[in-house]
Amino acid sequence: MAISVEPKVAPQQQNTTGGNNTFAFIVVTGLFFMWGFLTVLNDILIPHLKGLFDLNYTQASLVQFAFFAAYFIVSLPAGKIIEKVGYQNGIVLGLLIAATGTFLFYPAAEIRVFPLFLMALVVLASGITILQVAANPYVSILGKPEKAASRLNLAQALNSLGTTLGSKFGQIFILANVIFYTADELAALSPEQVLEAEAKTAASIQGPYVSFGIALVVMAVIMKLVKLPVINTSSPKTETTTTSKKSIWSFTHLILGVVAIFMYVGSEVSIGSFLVNYIMEKSTLPIEEADAAKWLPYFWGGLMVGRFIGSALSARFKASSILTIFSVSCVALIVTSMSLEGMPAIYAMVATGLFLSVMFPTIFTLAIHKLGVHTSQGSSLLVMAIVGGALLPVLMGFVADSISLNVAFTVPFIGILYIAFYGWKGSEPKGVE
């Protein structure tokens, strides 16, 4: 099956280096910020909806399953759409679809039906998927190839700024406005008081998500009006035709990279999704969800700082070496946290954000390296692999329910261990001229 996210462009519209690229980079990185802001709110929604609908860990993880399953379902159609309408119009469409998803949170909260929340998340994620399919390869190709990892790390740093601010926003404007009851307190309430408490909990979601929808529509209008350079990823005439005749499945560094993206997104989302509950378990003192959520900005802030560091390091050192070192460090922190109790365990798990930081942009650029005319196909496969964010959190939730939440962190441990292997050996292009 042919997979393509490459729009048809005229030769005179090919990308050139210069000031126009700088402007384009600034505009597109704004999208990275916005989808980071929206995606991290899932970490707030999980404890929020878990309490509202009395869900277990496996059921609560359906929030991430619904969101990230959209990546797997929508990425191929998104590639076809972008092929027909181009990167810029594809971005506009993605923003409008994402806005529709945020607006659906209002009726979902009004009638308080969990499946409707999941549907809203699927629509929101579908829009973000289109943005990802367009923006990641766009930023990677927008300039000199040897600086691709540095550019994408910088763009992802803005994504992490969005996750950092988004987690803080969710803590202040969503969780802080909710009263959490213990089982005994809830049993003492009358049916009318229970309904009132549920209504207040649900309503705390409506205002923020409607505001996000309005912001996304405004961004869509801006993206429609600005002029961005058109990227042509087709091979130049001087390039050997060997690469163009190869099957996409013959590039082992790409296929192993697809698995690495699956493992990375699944591991990152798993840690972020259960971090609040993990902190509540590991804390030696009783702690409410709203207080535990205060640690989320530090976790996502670590990703932001790490990506700025990664952008600088990638300009000077081999991307594969950076990926290996950061992965091994992250694995060590997870093992340390699982082995400890109290604040040392919390510090170690929160610190994983710093070392998770460079993984997505570095894996992405390593995986599409030397693909030639297959670059767009490879990008689409890598975006499909984001479905790891749907599957691994569910597996982690199942382990948490079956054994314990502490043991469940072996799921991201294994995922990141594989990424260390990819940086060490798997990312090396073989048989590519």
Total structural domains within the chain:
1
The half-sphere exposure of 351 on its side-chain side, counting CA atoms within 13 A, is: 16
pLDDT of residue 214: 96
**Assigned domain for 8 exists:** no
Looking up tokens 């948490």 gives 400
Q: Kindly state whether residue 25 falls inside one of the protein's structural domains.
A: yes
pTM recorded for the entire structure: 0.72
User: Which residues lie closer than 8 Å to 118 by C-beta, 6 or more apart?
Assistant: 62, 63, 66
- 3-state SS string for 357-373: CCHHHHHHHHHCCCCHH
Instruction: Give CA separation, 171 vs 168, 400, 401, in Å.
Output: 5, 24, 25
Least confident segment among 31-40, 102-111, 126-135, 364-373:
364-373
The answer on pLDDT for 394 being more than 80 is yes
Which amino acid, residue 293? A
Please count the CA atoms within 13 angstroms of the CA of 82 that sit on its side-chain side. 34
Best CA proximity match to 32, nearest among 168, 154, 208, 167: 154
Within a domain: residue 366? yes
The confidence band for 113, taking pLDDT boundaries of 50, 70 and 90, is confident
Domain that holds residue 263: 17-232+242-426
Buried b (16+ CB within 10 A) or exposed e, 44-73: bbbbbbbbbbebebbbbbbbbbbbbbbbbb
Distance CA 140, CA 111 (A): 43
Distance (Å, whole) CA 349 – CA 333: 6
Question: Residue 3 domain-assigned?
Answer: no
Residue 7 in domain: no
pLDDT score, position 197: 65
- Residue 323 placed within a domain: yes
> Is residue 194 included in any domain, yes or no?
yes
What interhelical angle do 19-52 and 62-85 show, nearest 10? Answer: 150
Look at residue 336 and tell me if it is in a domain: yes
Nearest to 178 by CA among 9, 52, 323: 52
Give pLDDT tens digits for 273-308: 899 889 988 876 777 777 887 888 889 888 888 888
The answer to which of 58-72, 106-120, 264-278, 340-354 has the lowest mean pLDDT is 58-72
Going by C-beta distance under 8 Å and a sequence separation of 6 or more, which residues neighbour residue 64?
42, 46, 269, 273, 389, 390, 393, 394
Tell me which of 91 and 244 has the higher pLDDT. 91
Tens digits of per-residue pLDDT, 19-59? 467 787 888 888 888 888 888 888 778 777 877 787 888 88
Per the model's pLDDT, the better-predicted residue between 163 and 385 turns out to be: 385
Question: What's 38's domain CATH number?
Answer: 1.20.1250.20
- Convert the pLDDT of each residue in 1-16 to its tens digit: 333 333 333 333 344 4
381 vs 402, which has greater pLDDT? 402
Q: What percent of the chain has pLDDT over 70?
A: 84
* Listed residue (42, 26, 38) closest to 154, CA to CA: 26
What is the rounded CA–CA span in Å between residue 327 and residue 315?
19
Rounded CA Rg of the chain: 21
Sort 262 into a burial class: Cβ within 10 Å, 0-12 / 13-18 / 19+: buried
Q: Is the pLDDT of residue 415 over 90?
A: yes
Asked if 143 and 16 touch (Cβ cutoff 8 Å), the reply is no
- Residues belonging to the chain: 433
End-to-end CA distance of the chain: 24
Distance CA 157, CA 424 (A): 24
**Which tokens in the block code for residue 215?**
């912001």
Measure the CA–CA gap between 163 and 147, rounded to whole angstroms.
24
